[in-house]
Structures are given as C-alpha cells and as structure tokens.
C-alpha cells in the first residue's frame, strides 16, 4: 500500500517536544533554520513515497543473488540508491570540512526513519556508509579521509563494517582474522567474516570494507584488535578504482527477511588494507561506527512500525466484518481499536526517543559539553533496544489486525515482521544493550539517568495545571524509576544488575514515552491528547511490573539449574 511520511509528527516533535530549538540556536547548526528543516523533511518524504516505497515488495520477492562471484541486486534498487545518493542524503550529517552538509543528526534520523519505512532493505546501505564516514572522520589519517570520504558522501562508493566471524559473534575479541605488515605501510588481511550487510552490489564503483583484524603483536581479546580499510578495488594514483583486491563474496545468507539486502560471507586472502587509527585501537574506532549504527537501527524499528501501522489502519478502515457499529468496518470493534491505538502510541513514543537521542548527539557535538555526551550515550542503548522491540511488536500486531490475511504474504503485512526481526539482533543484541545500560552507562553513579528523570518530573509538575491526572501518573512513574535506578547503582554484583537489565531498559523507555506523550497532550491538539491519555493510562503502567523484575536481583534466576532449562 502507499506510504505517507509522518512529516507532521517530525515537525511537531522538533517544534514542541524534543528541544530541537537548542540545536538550531547553536553556531554549529545555524543552517538548520525552520525553513530548511521543513524543506528537507518535505523533499525526503517525496523521495521515500514516490521512489523507494515501490521497491520494498520487489526486494522481498526478488532477492539479491550471487552469480559467478557478482552480486546482482533487486530490481529497481540501483535507481533507488541513485536517488538517495544524488539527493545528498548519505552525507547529511558529515561535517562540511569533509564535504558533507553538516546538518544535525536529528534531521538525518528523521530522514533515515522515512527511508526505513519505505524500503528497509535498501536503506541499510546508506546507513552503513554514514557510520563509516563518521568512523573515518574521527580516526583515519588525513590521506584516507581525503581519498575515501568524498566518494562515500557522494555515494559513488559504499561502506561496510566487518566484525563477526563464525566463531566470534558478540565475543568480538575471539576473532582470528590476521593483519601482516607488507613493509610498505600496507597490511595483508587474511580471514573470514560473516553477516556483512551490503558487502557488494552492482551499482557503486567500489565497496569500502572496514575490517577488524589482529596484528602479529596484538594481545588476545579486544585490546589486541586493529581496524583496516580494505577496498574491493584498490584505488590507483589518481584515486580511481584500480586493480581487484584479494577478497571475495563467498556466499549470500538465506535470511528470514530483508531479502533485498545482500548479507555476505566474506573471504580475505592477503587482501591489501590500510590501518585506520592506532595499532590495537580498532575497537574504539569501530565503536564510533557502531554507536552511529545503533541509533540508526533503532530508527529502523520506528520506520517499520510506522509502515506496519499505516497498512493495518488502512485495512481495518476498509474491511467489513461482524456487527460493528457505524461503518461496519473492523476498525469500529473495540479490540481492533485497542490494537491500532497501541501501535500508534508506541510508534510515537519510540520516534520521540530516537529524536531525543539525536538532539543529545547534536548538542554534544555543537557544545562539547560532557553532560550532553553522557545523555547521548545513555539514550543510545534505549533507542536501539526499545525501538527495535517496538518495531517487532507493532509489525506483529499489524498482522493480527489483518487476521488470516496477515499470514498471507500477498498482503505485505508479514514482510514487515520478517524484515524488522533482525534489528533486535544486529549491532549488539538488545540484551547486550540492556547490560550496557545498567553497567557502563551507570558508572557515573546514575547521574545521567537522574538528570533525565529530573526533567521528566519537572515537565509533569508543569503539566498538572492542565492535565493533572496524566501528569501525576507520569511523575509517579519517574519517581519509581528513580528508586529502581538507585537500587541498581547500589548493587556491586553486576549479575544482580544484569538479571533485570532488559525490564529496566524497557521501563525507562516506557517512562520516556509517557513524558513525550504528556508534553504532546499539553502542546498539541485534541487528537494528540487522546492518544496521550491512552498511552499513559493503559501502557505506562507496564513500568510497575518491569521495575519489580529489575529489582529482584539474580539469586532466584541463577538458582534455576541448567537441567531445569534443558528438556
């Protein structure tokens, strides 16, 4: 069905909820005027609606394929990619110093969400490239920056990240890929990598692989890992793609979804690579790319949720069945209304969280303030985990709204569920995100968390003048979350934190969603107030059970023996 970009939601959130005016008022982002913001959102919406959306089904039905060592992409993907590249959408947030537009991450996040809704399989390619650009900006030598970044920004070349190996999934430190010095400043990269998104295509001139590998003197574990640029075609003296490097696509994975996105097994056989950053400093450099991608992946979850919501709502509006009042369409049934309302309320909450995260990233860049940096770091795992969970849940509920037709592939409802499922897994599973939240992100004794909670409570206090019942519920939820955070910070045994990490992260997201909905009720129209009432009264109370779980510790969990769990 046709997709309509939720431009009004983006604009409303930026104007009234997430504090985007702070970003636009900085000298660094002075170009992000209201007129420019509106123009960018409008042009991106037009591209996504008219060019990318028609490609979504084609990518599912006609997957990327490997023929004689060449990856052939889905019908129409080359044209779609060209529209993304020539429109300047890849380098939106890259700095002007390297040829980017220097626009806020908040705008890039909004555009990435639209592209994810329209065609997630294709959107993965520019997302990987955006992350690589940021990693190179921060860590690469001037020579590498000057050669690669302009080509990545223009879309002439695309970027990938190569972490995972068959024996080293989340345990990146177990990798075996080797990097041997060639004696001329380059390195011979040898090893195999798996799950490499957009490792090859038939529409860019070159593919630039960032590869984690271990130098001969690299110690075991993550501290001995270095990062290398390993291009498909070695640039010649003029910077143009030259001779083929010693690497190849071994196979493409047969996946549950995202069929239009080629996910490859890569073999490096003494391929020529260039060190990015310091020797043995590969994880720090790669994490720059991964943190960029984690917000991007959370945004993918929101994008799929929006697309699934639109399709389910349209189906429910037209489908006549049963003895529903009014028009007789199933949207008049209370339970269908409940499903659609929960889908819409959660999608809006998730969108608000990703944009809050993006604002923090923008303010950290524009001001260099440690408080903004800490906030961006704290919100990133929440954005990645909660928003991809929402994508899965909303897509699943969308199938339920369709009834039996949701299980029939021709309606397209099932594709959303299949495509988004991997988002909870890649770029660090959602469980790992939650563990990071309760461990590393609370190493400041909870200071970043408490600052956010203070703002939520202040917002609730102000809202009591117009929406006292809703405001009290949000204030109480923030106070409960404060107490749970204090309890977690007091736990010296990390397992006691980890046992409740996932419910804690979801509870924090629930409260952030309540905060956004409450502010929307105060500053928006009657429609936004009705949706906020639904969320705060029916969905926010979930935080009570989640926090009870989070504060239970690990004893009862670890008391369950392995025999209890294995049939």
Residue spans per domain, the chain: 158-281, 434-565
pLDDT band at 116 (very low <50, low <70, confident <90, very high): very high
In our burial notation (b when 16+ CB lie closer than 10 A, e otherwise), range 249-262 reads beebeebebbbbbb
What tens digit of pLDDT does each residue of 40-53 get? 999 999 999 999 99
Q: How is residue 245 annotated by DSSP? A: P
Whose structure tokens read 């604009």? Answer: 11
Select from 389, 396, 393, 392 the least CA-distant residue to 413: 396
Percent of the chain exceeding pLDDT 70 equals 100
Q: Which H or E element spans position 137?
A: helix 105-139
Cβ 301 vs Cβ 391: under 8 Å: yes
Is it the case that residue 103 has pLDDT exceeding 70? Answer: yes
Give the alpha-carbon dihedral of 551, 556, 561, 567, to 10 degrees: -80
Mean pLDDT of the chain: 96
Q: How is residue 483 annotated by DSSP? A: H
pLDDT at 58: 96
Q: What is the distance between the alpha carbons of residues 153 and 137, in angstroms, rounded to a whole number?
A: 12
Q: Is the dihedral of CA 349, 352, 356, 362 positive or negative?
A: positive
Q: In the predicted model, what is the mean pLDDT of residues 66-94?
A: 96
Q: What region does 445 belong to: left with phi over 0, alpha with psi -120 to 50, or beta?
A: left
Cβ 214 vs Cβ 175: under 8 Å: yes
Give the alpha-carbon dihedral of 543, 548, 553, 557, to 10 degrees: -100
Q: Which fold has domain 434-565?
A: 1.20.120
Q: Is 411 helix (H, G, I), strand (E, B) or coil?
A: helix
* Token pair in block for residue 292: 């960029």
What tens digit of pLDDT does each residue of 333-364 get? 999 999 999 999 999 999 999 999 999 999 99
Q: In the predicted model, what is the mean pLDDT of residues 542-557?
A: 97
Select from 204, 120, 194, 195 the least CA-distant residue to 159: 204
Q: Which H or E element spans position 490?
A: helix 468-490
**Secondary structure of 282-326 as H, E, C letters:** HHHHHHHHHHHHHHHHHHHHHHHHHHHHHHHHHHHHHCECCCCCC
Q: What is the distance between the alpha carbons of residues 91 and 89, in angstroms, rounded to a whole number?
A: 6
Rg of the chain taking only CA atoms, in angstroms: 24
pLDDT at 552: 96
Q: Is 370 helix (H, G, I), strand (E, B) or coil?
A: helix
Select from 509, 507, 506, 485 the least CA-distant residue to 497: 485
Q: What is the distance between the alpha carbons of residues 113 and 118, in angstroms, rounded to a whole number?
A: 9
Is it the case that residue 283 has pLDDT exceeding 90? Answer: no
Select from 49, 29, 30, 37 the least CA-distant residue to 11: 37
Q: Which H or E element spans position 252?
A: strand 247-252
Domains 158-281 and 434-565 equal at CATH topology level: no
Q: What is the distance between the alpha carbons of residues 127 and 292, in angstroms, rounded to a whole number?
A: 9
* Token pair in block for residue 152: 């990545």
Cβ 131 vs Cβ 93: under 8 Å: no
Cβ 414 vs Cβ 407: under 8 Å: yes
Is it the case that residue 171 has pLDDT exceeding 90? Answer: no
CA angle 334, 339, 341 (to 5 degrees): 90
Is it the case that residue 57 has pLDDT exceeding 90? Answer: yes
Pairing of strands 157-162, 206-214: parallel
Q: Which H or E element spans position 488?
A: helix 468-490
Q: How is residue 224 annotated by DSSP? A: G
pLDDT at 557: 95
What tens digit of pLDDT does each residue of 355-397 get? 999 999 999 999 999 999 999 999 999 999 999 999 999 999 9
pLDDT at 1: 67
Q: Determine which one of 134, 165, 427, 457 is catalytic.
A: 427
Q: Give the bridge partners for 273, in sequence order.
A: 187
Give me the helix-helix angle, 413-420 and 105-139, nearest 10°: 30
Residue 550 CB contacts under 8 Å (≥ 6 apart), including other chains: 484, 488, 500, 501, 503, 504, 507
pLDDT band at 172 (very low <50, low <70, confident <90, very high): confident
Would residue 542 show up in a list of annotated catalytic residues for this protein? no
Q: What is the distance between the alpha carbons of residues 392 and 421, in angstroms, rounded to a whole number?
A: 6
Q: What is the distance between the alpha carbons of residues 431 and 455, in angstroms, rounded to a whole number?
A: 27
Cβ 385 vs Cβ 299: under 8 Å: no
Select from 504, 510, 512 the least CA-distant residue to 546: 504
What tens digit of pLDDT does each residue of 512-542 get? 999 999 999 999 999 999 999 999 999 999 9
Q: In the predicted model, what is the mean pLDDT of residues 262-274?
A: 98
Q: What is the distance between the alpha carbons of residues 303 and 10, in angstroms, rounded to a whole number?
A: 12
Is it the case that residue 115 has pLDDT exceeding 80? Answer: yes
Q: What is the distance between the alpha carbons of residues 473 and 139, in angstroms, rounded to a whole number?
A: 46
Q: Phi and psi (nearest 5°) for 181?
A: -60, 135
pLDDT band at 553 (very low <50, low <70, confident <90, very high): very high
To the nearest 5 percent, what fractions of the chain are helix, strand and coil?
Answer: 60, 15, 25
What tens digit of pLDDT does each residue of 174-196 get? 899 999 999 999 999 999 999 99
pLDDT at 323: 78
CATH number given to 158-281: 2.40.110.20
């Amino acid at each position: 069905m046709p997709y309509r970009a939720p431009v009004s939601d983006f604009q409303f959130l930026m104007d009234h909820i997430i504090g985007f005016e702070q970003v636009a008022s900085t000298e660094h982002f002075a170009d992000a005027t209201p007129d420019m913001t509106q123009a960018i959102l409008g042009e991106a919406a037009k591209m996504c609606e008219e060019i990318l959306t028609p490609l979504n089904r084609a990518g599912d039905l006609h997957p990327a394929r490997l023929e004689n060592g060449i990856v052939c992409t889905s019908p129409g993907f080359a044209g779609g990619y060209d529209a993304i590249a020539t429109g300047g959408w890849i380098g939106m947030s890259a700095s002007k110093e390297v040829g980017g537009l220097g626009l806020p991450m908040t705008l890039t996040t909004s555009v990435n969400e639209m592209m994810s809704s329209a065609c997630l399989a294709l959107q993965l390619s520019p997302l990987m490239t955006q992350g690589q650009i940021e990693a190179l900006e921060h860590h690469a030598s001037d020579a590498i920056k000057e050669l690669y970044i302009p080509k990545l920004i223009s879309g002439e070349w695309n970027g990938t990240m190569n972490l995972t190996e068959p024996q080293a999934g989340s345990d990146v430190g177990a990798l075996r890929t080797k990097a041997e010095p060639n004696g001329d400043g380059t390195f011979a990269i040898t090893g195999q990598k798996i799950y490499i998104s957009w490792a090859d295509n038939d529409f860019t001139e070159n593919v630039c692989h960032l590869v984690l590998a271990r130098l001969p003197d690299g110690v075991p574990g993550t501290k001995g890992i270095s990062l290398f640029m390993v291009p498909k075609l070695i640039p010649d003296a003029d910077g143009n793609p030259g001779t083929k490097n010693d690497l190849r696509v071994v196979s493409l994975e047969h996946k549950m979804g995202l069929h239009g996105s080629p996910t490859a097994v890569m073999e490096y056989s003494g391929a020529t690579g260039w060190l990015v950053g310091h020797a043995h400093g590969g994880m720090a450099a790669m994490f720059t790319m991964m943190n960029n991608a984690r917000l991007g992946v959370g945004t993918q979850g929101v994008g799929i949720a929006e697309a699934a919501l639109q399709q389910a709502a349209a189906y429910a509006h037209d489908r006549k069945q049963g003895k529903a009042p009014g028009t007789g369409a199933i949207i008049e049934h209370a339970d269908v209304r409940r499903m659609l309302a929960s889908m819409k309320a959660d999608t809006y909450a998730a969108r608000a969280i990703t944009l809050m995260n993006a604002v923090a990233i923008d303010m950290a860049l524009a001001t260099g303030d440690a408080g903004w940096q800490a906030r961006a770091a704290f919100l990133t795992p929440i954005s990645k985990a909660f928003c991809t969970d929402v994508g899965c849940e909303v897509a699943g509920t969308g199938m339920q709204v369709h009834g039996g037709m949701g299980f029939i592939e021709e309606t397209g409802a099932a594709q959303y569920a299949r495509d988004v499922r991997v988002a909870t897994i890649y770029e660090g599973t959602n469980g790992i995100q939650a563990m990071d939240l309760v461990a590393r992100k609370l190493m400041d004794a909870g200071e970043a968390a408490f600052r956010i909670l203070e703002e939520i409570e202040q917002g609730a206090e102000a809202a009591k003048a117009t929406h006292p019942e809703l405001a009290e519920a949000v204030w109480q939820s923030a106070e409960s979350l404060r107490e749970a955070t204090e309890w977690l910070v007091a736990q010296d045994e990390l397992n006691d934190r980890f046992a409740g990490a996932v419910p804690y992260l979801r509870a924090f997201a629930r409260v952030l969603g309540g905060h956004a909905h409450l502010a929307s009720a105060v500053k928006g129209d009657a429609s936004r107030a009705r949706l906020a009432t639904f969320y705060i009264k029916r969905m926010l109370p979930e935080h009570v059970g989640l926090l009870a779980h989070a504060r239970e510790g690990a004893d009862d969990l670890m008391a369950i023996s392995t025999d209890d769990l294995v049939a």
